[in-house]
Chain A
Amino acid sequence: MSSFGVVLLLHGLALAASTAQPLPGIAIERRLADRYRLAVGDTVRLTPAADRPAARYLVEAIYQPKADPATALRGEYQIRFHLPELSRLLGAADRVDRIAVLGRPGIPADSTAFRLNQPAFGYRAYPSERIASESSRTFAVVSRFHRAIGVISIVASAVFLLCIMLLKVEERRLDAAVMRMIGISRATVFRAFVLEATLVAAVGSGLGVGLAAVAGALTNWVYRRRFETSLVFSHLSPDIVAFGVGLSLVLGVAVGALAARRLVTARPLALWRRAG
């Protein structure tokens, strides 16, 4: 079996009866086997294009490929061939698109790529880390985009919280007036309202984290089923939780302090009259 995988568009895939002659073996990925109910020992006919002749192959193995976000959404399936069989099927015996070279432990990929590129006759070698880095660049951008959306959401919810707190302060004006009338100091009233805002922000953050966890789990469940993959589509990492909770608490406390300040700067009688 060749050491690399090939993505092949399937045309006219069909089950066929076993034949007496030994057939070339292939390995197919689990999703493909599940979709067409294939098992080891089954025979399939494959063709690289609808107008090309098909060849018979024996399913020798079913494997689970590593989840790859770059290919998960394409709706393609992987089949692995022995290299000569792949060349025969494609009708291009002297042509391959990609070859993975596995170096011995301790041999640096950079110098290996450099030495492979020295002859430079029709190919280009890259260290795998560089390919991984370039292929994940899109995801890094998407990740930053998601973070920006998260920050905007939290800030927007803080504005919403500000409005709620200000309304709540209007409701609590009478309580504040009574506290001030019975001799409770401005500082104590201020602390009480800031503490209340902090608790509201903390409980809200907790609920938000819980909601995010549930929404993330639901997202993963739906999209894993939809794309038949083990990829993680939504991940609630500790640093994101810490960032979200921290930002919510800071904004909540600030908003509470702002609202409480409106209360304690008024004289008790003025508060009493406005509350009445």
Chain B
Amino acid sequence: MLRALASCDDLQHPQLPTSELPGQHTTQFIHSTPTFAMQHVALNAERLVDQIAIDLRHYIDDKGLQHPAMVGIHTGGVWIAERLHTRLNLSQRLGKLNINYYRDDFSRRGLHPVVQPSELPFTVDDQHIILVDDVLHTGRTIRAALNELFDFGRPASVHLVALVERSGRELPIQPDVCGHHLHLAPDEQIKLNGPDPLKLELIAT
């Protein structure tokens, strides 16, 4: 059973200890307490997108990426990519990936629900691609997305943007730009609801 604990917007308990790392937006959830607390930063998804838009602009300039193309991963990644694409005023049309047919859990979990088909309205060959997802957790979604991208062509480079990066990585995949870092126990999940407004939600399983 999934039990929604609280919307992250409401999670502010200043009396609980913080473990923020210097220079990073990091939140430690206290697993022994029934109420999950988020320190200092209320995880407002819309505000995180604002921050990412600024960071990503700097990132693109630093790396000198010429005419990068943005690709959102269905469904949450597309919501974020749509906002970033508008803010950054990118010249290439936004791409969308449905990674369901590239997942590695087909024989265990079967087919996932139908989402919109993949759509990459540009040539992938020699393109700088900015891949956008909502929550980076195990890294398996990104692995699947990379495999799918490469079935469309050979990009010049691929960069990863995540709204939230949480603990629990199972593959050597890290974001290049990310809105927030979270330490969560394996039985805790963070989920993006949307598209309007975007809202992060903590769930304990």
A and B interact physically: no
Query: Which B residues are closer than 8 A to A by beta carbons?
Result: none
